[in-house]
Amino acid sequence: MIDLNNTEIAFKIKNNKELKNAKFLFSMIKYPFMVRILGFMSNWALKIKFPISWAVKPTLYKHFVGGETIEECFPVMKKMAAENVKSILDFSMEAVEKEEEIDAVYRELLKSVINSGEHAEIPFSVFKPTALTTHNVLKKTSLNEPLTPEEQISYGKFVHRFDMLCAAAAKTGKPIMVDAEDYWFQQTIDIVTEEMMLKYNGKTAVVYATLQMYRHDRLDYLQHLINFSKQNNIIAGVKFVRGAYMEKERARASEGGYPSPIYPAKEDTDRAFNEALRISVENCDGIRVFCGTHNEKSVSYLMQYMKDKGLSNNCSAVYMSQLYGMSDNLSFNIAKAGYNVAKYLPYGKIKNVLPYLIRRAEENSAIAGQTTRELTMLKQELKRRKAK
Ligand SMILES: Cc1cc2nc3c(=O)[nH]c(=O)nc-3n(C[C@H](O)[C@H](O)[C@H](O)COP(=O)(O)OP(=O)(O)OC[C@H]3O[C@@H](n4cnc5c(N)ncnc54)[C@H](O)[C@@H]3O)c2cc1C
């Protein structure tokens, strides 16, 4: 079995200064109160337009983000690619509601899709469908509520933009992933994603849906997608994640008086996640798997199951992925063993990326063991280098 804790391989592309910065960062976000203070101060700074980039840029931003523009991401993309770890450019832009702003975001997304076709280091493109229209329109269509004539126009533009991004991906020959977000937008996103799969997926998977396996209906939906691909004689693309909005979903369900869409316990989510991987590998003649996780047990499970099924490490039906700045021990060690690996590489202006950075800090702080694991490995690698 592969050693997933080999720190020399994990941190090969990081210099000592970068490792020390990461060590400082993780030792801060280990404390939930520090993350709360950070979140509060960032929101306040954003509101009153107080400049905080001098503090954020050399620390959190440098660790979790590739740069402000696609071009600024190239150096890090190249360094990772030299170690067989590819990049997925993830344009970070928090919710915009005005048509002109939505259109500007759409144009940047289109640029990043076209860019993926021009660089061997980028195997996929990705977008958040909520960036393509207003939240109100997505929510109303998902809940089957009637739209006003103006909202109907907005919805038409949403489908058009969605289609154009998928068409551009098809033209580049690189697949595109449709991220998943809040539960109450997802029904519309699933419907449009399936339409796009019908339009662009054939013998290859161009469009990938995202399944958040903390939702208790997603194993059934996976089975639906498998049947759907068989009936339509297409290859389906599926990205599996556990899901990033658990607290929000639970609170919203409780306020709205409907049952929570999320499993009651972490073990249920873990079981569903691994089961989805098993089912997909079992059906890998009709499905392409993208496994987005920092969970070592799930990564090991997938590698073992691929081996049991006689799939090669670099089988093109399976990709594994982590976020930039997290779990390099997984990404670089499994890439070294020949598996297909890509890291989500966010880019964007500091003020737009800030909410993403706060989420990363919160996630690392909340997930028991995650920060400690990162810290232990960073310390171990610094010690190993010093002893050389
Ligand atoms: C490449 C990549 C792409 C991603 N894209 C998306 C995306 O499109 N949409 C999205 O929502 N997220 C996305 N995420 C984030 C992801 O959903 C998780 O939040 C994050 O990866 C942590 O889960 P984990 O599998 O890494 O590890 P773990 O640390 O093992 O799992 C933590 C997760 O388990 C679940 N969980 C925790 N406690 C409980 C509980 N009490 N009951 C039920 N479930 C619980 C939650 O989903 C939590 O995030 C992505 C992550 C990666 C690596």
What pLDDT is attached to residue 46?
66
Domain ranges in the chain are 66-351
Atom number of ligand 1 nearest to Cα 126: 8
Residue 109: count other Cβ atoms within 10 Å of its Cβ: 24
**C-alpha distance from residue 136 to each of 155, 164, 258 (Å):** 10, 22, 19
Q: Which helix (H) or strand (E) holds 211?
A: strand 207-212
Nearest atom in ligand 1 to the alpha carbon of residue 177 is 8
- Report whether residue 299 contacts ligand 1, using a CB cutoff of 6 Å: no
Task: Name the residue of 130, 176, 216, 241 to mutate for ligand 1: max ligand atoms within 8 A of Cβ.
Answer: 241
Fold of 66-351: TIM Barrel (3.20.20)
Asked if residues 321 and 291 have their Cβ atoms less than 8 Å apart, the reply is yes
C-alpha 214 to ligand 1 mean position (Å): 8
Q: Which residues contact 20 (CB under 8 A, 6 or more apart)?
A: 382
Question: What was the pLDDT predicted at 162?
Answer: 98
Rounded distance from Cα 359 to ligand 1 centre (Å): 12
pLDDT at 37: 72
Per-residue model confidence (pLDDT) at position 208: 98
Q: What per-residue confidence (pLDDT) applies to 50?
A: 64
Give the contacts of 47 (CB within 8 A, at least 6 positions apart).
none
Kind and range of the H or E element at 176? strand 176-178
Contacts 24+ apart (CB under 8 A), 102-107: 102/131, 102/132, 102/133, 102/134, 102/157, 105/131, 105/132, 106/131, 106/132, 106/161, 106/164, 106/165
CA-297 nearest atom, ligand 1 = 30
C-alpha span between 121 and 293 (Å, rounded): 20
Residue located nearest, by CA, to atom 30 of ligand 1: 295
Instruction: Give the nearest ligand 1 atom to 273 CA.
Output: 25
Residue 72 CB partners (closer than 8 Å, separation 6+): 66, 347
Residue type, 89: L
Could you tell me if the CB of 244 is within 6 A of ligand 1?
Answer: yes
**Whole-number pLDDT of residue 25:** 85
Q: What is the pTM of this model?
A: 0.95
d(CA 84, CA 168): 25
- For residue 370, the ligand 1 atom closest to its alpha carbon is 29
Per-residue pLDDT tens listing for the chain (388 residues): 789 999 999 999 999 999 999 998 888 777 777 767 777 777 776 666 666 677 778 888 889 999 999 999 999 999 999 999 999 999 987 677 888 999 999 999 999 999 999 999 999 999 999 999 999 999 999 999 999 999 999 999 999 999 999 999 999 999 999 999 999 899 999 999 999 999 999 999 999 999 999 999 999 999 999 999 999 999 999 999 999 999 899 999 999 999 999 999 999 999 999 999 999 999 999 999 999 999 999 999 999 999 999 999 999 999 999 999 999 999 999 999 999 999 999 999 888 887 777 777 777 666 656 778 889 999 999 999 999 8
* b/e per residue 201-240 (b: at least 16 CB within 10 A): beeebbbbbbbbbbbbebbebbeebbebbeeeebbbbbbb
For ligand 1, is residue 323 a contact (CB within 6 Å)?
A: yes
